[in-house]
Every structure is written in structure tokens, then in C-alpha cells.
Amino acid sequence: MKLVIDIRLINASGIGTYLKNVIPGILQNFDEVLVLGNTKEIEYFEWSKKIKIIEFNAKVYSLKEQFQYPKIIPSCDVLWCPHFNTPLLPVKAQKTVTTIHDVYHLTSEASISQLKRKYARILFQNAVKKASLIFTVSEFSKTEILKYTKADSQKIDVVYCGVNKLLFENSEAKHDFKLPDNYILYVGNIKPHKNLIVLLKAYNALSEEFRLKYKLVFIGKKDGFLTQDNDIHSFIKNNNLQKDITFTGYVNDSEIPHIYHNANLFVFPSLYEGFGLPILEALATGTKVLSSNAASLPEIGGEAVVYFDPKDDVGLGKLIQDTIVDSSKGKFLSAEAHKQLEKFTWEKSIKKHLNAFKKLE
């Protein structure tokens, strides 16, 4: 089969990680693979030598991409869109496959304008209608897709993402960031539904002695953090927390394991996640994890994680202190982490993708 993949989000955080790990494992199983995206970005990857690149830089979600799709997408057996922005207009693809990671844009948690919500709804309904196959990353997301769209449940395949244990177990790679000796870590995009205000409130309520010893480290874009949520900006400023928080900005994949490994604790307070890959990354480095009990997160963390109510900052504060101090709990969680990580490998993910693609032949 001739496969075309839209990989413009190859360097995005969540979807980018998914693409980087799945694409190399499926290339050899197709007669021809073409990808849409930025040539310079794609040529960085070794596997790019095995595919043909079609230059395509239209902004994701834009009307421009929709008008250019019919011109840019060549005749093919399968078009794979690893996001919900499937072409609205007819294209020269016999079949379409889409990966829907979550339907956040349609939920009450989404902090977006009504216009963007309406456009997202059009894109979602179009994606599920045209797709011969829909990949999603958790049972939670499958339930949400069926709840918010008119998708056919028979078309949906749940295929978990994975984590490269070898990469995260190897924490030798250093970084250029000056980090505190002891710190509580958060990794992820900086958006309102990530619920960082609860983590900040919980931390601020801890004793001065505790805050002198343990700082906060956020891996995410500082500019987005300080501009997208005015409540958070004000809270940091009003409580003089600037001295207690380190913003790393963008971090290369090779540097992240070291930062996880040296953290005393990883906290993930999100209100809505289709998967929650940072939880698995933290577990792979042996770091203790506290996670919100919302959305897909209990499905991903299993018994290896301690959960909290994402709206209870007081409870989270107590849990942070207790978890850091209690070393015996850490040993139990470490044993559970090993079992949980076995469920989530990129090898298993690639195999399930290939089995699903074979059904389209």
C-alpha cells in the first residue's frame, strides 16, 4: 500500500513523541510512504531517508491547510492524519485513518472561544465520519469520542502509547539548567486545564521550612505559562513564589531523563488528559508520582501512582509532604511501576498499529 502521513506536528510535545516512536516501526510494512511537513525538520531523523517528503507548512487547524490539502495530498491508498484535522474537502486517498488523542476541545474544561469550539466540532465530526479507522490512546478517550461525536465504535482501536524505558533509565545525560538540589517536578504543556494553580496553592500552603528545602521545577514554555493564565501569573507574583520556581523552557528529549531522575517527586495535577505520558516517563526513572484522579490518568498510572482530587489543594499539600518523607511507600510504588510499565511499550503500540492497518488492505 501507498501511505501518506501528515507529520507537521513531529516536534510537538505529545503528538510529536507519538509520531517519532511509531513511524520508524511501520515504514517497512508499506510499499511507499510519503509524509507532509517541513523538510528541514524531517530530515533530522534517520528514517527520513526511506520516505518521500512533501513540503507542507500550512498552520495546523487553519483554513489554509484545508484549502491546500486537495492540492498537496497525492493519490494514495491510505491517508493517515495523526490528529483530528482531517481534510474537509475531497482528496485523492482511497481510505483515511485518523488518530484522536482526546476531545478536549469539545469539553467544558477547554478554555477556548466559542468560534474555535465550533470549528473543532466540525473537524471532529468530519474526522470520525470519513475515517475507515480511528486510533485513540486510551479507553477513556474512546468513551469521550463516542460521547461527543457520532463515531462508529467498531471503527475505533485503542492503542496505548509507550515509553522508552532504556532512555529514561539512563540518566547520565546532563543539561544546561541550574536546578535546585531538591525539587518537585511538573512536565507538560502550560495550559489552563493542566491545573497548575492547584499545585501552586498546595505548595504555597506548606511550611516555610519545607519550601526552603524543596523547590518547584516546571518543564514547559515560561512565556506561555505567564501569559495564558492570569490567575496563575497573579498567584505567583502575589505570593512571592518567583524565587521558588525554576522554569526550564524547552528541554531536549535527551536531557529530560536526568531531570526526572533527580526529582524528589513528580506531580501531575491535570483535569483532562487523553493519555498522560509524563506519568510513565517519571515511573521509568524511578521517581515517585502523585497524579490527579481525573480522566485517563488512573488508567495509565494503575497501582504505581498515588492519586488526589485535582480540586483539593489542601489535600495535595499534605500528600506532597507525606510522600516525600515516607520512603517505605516509595519502595512499594517502585515495584508496581515495573509491572505497569510492561503494559506500555512502543513495540506493542507499533504492532497494534500494523495489525489495524492490515485490515484496510
pLDDT tens across 252-298, in order? 778 889 899 999 999 999 999 999 999 999 999 999 999 999 999 99
What phi and psi, each to the nearest 5 degrees, are found at residue 77? -75, -45
What confidence tens digit (pLDDT) does each residue in 3-36 have?
A: 999 999 999 878 999 999 999 999 989 999 999 9
Q: Does residue 108 register a pLDDT over 90?
A: no
Interval 213-219 mean pLDDT: 95
Distance between CA 288 and CA 27 in Å, rounded?
36
User: Is 259 strand, coil or helix?
Assistant: helix
Interval 95-117 mean pLDDT: 93
> What is the chain's length?
361
Interval 161-187 mean pLDDT: 82
126: burial class by Cβ within 10 Å (0-12, 13-18, 19+)?
buried
User: Is 134 strand, coil or helix?
Assistant: strand
What confidence tens digit (pLDDT) does each residue in 35-52 have?
A: 999 999 999 999 999 999
Domains of the chain: 2-162+345-358 (3.40.50.2000), 165-341 (3.40.50.2000)
Residue 97 is predicted with a pLDDT of 98
Percent of the chain whose predicted confidence (pLDDT) is above 90: 77
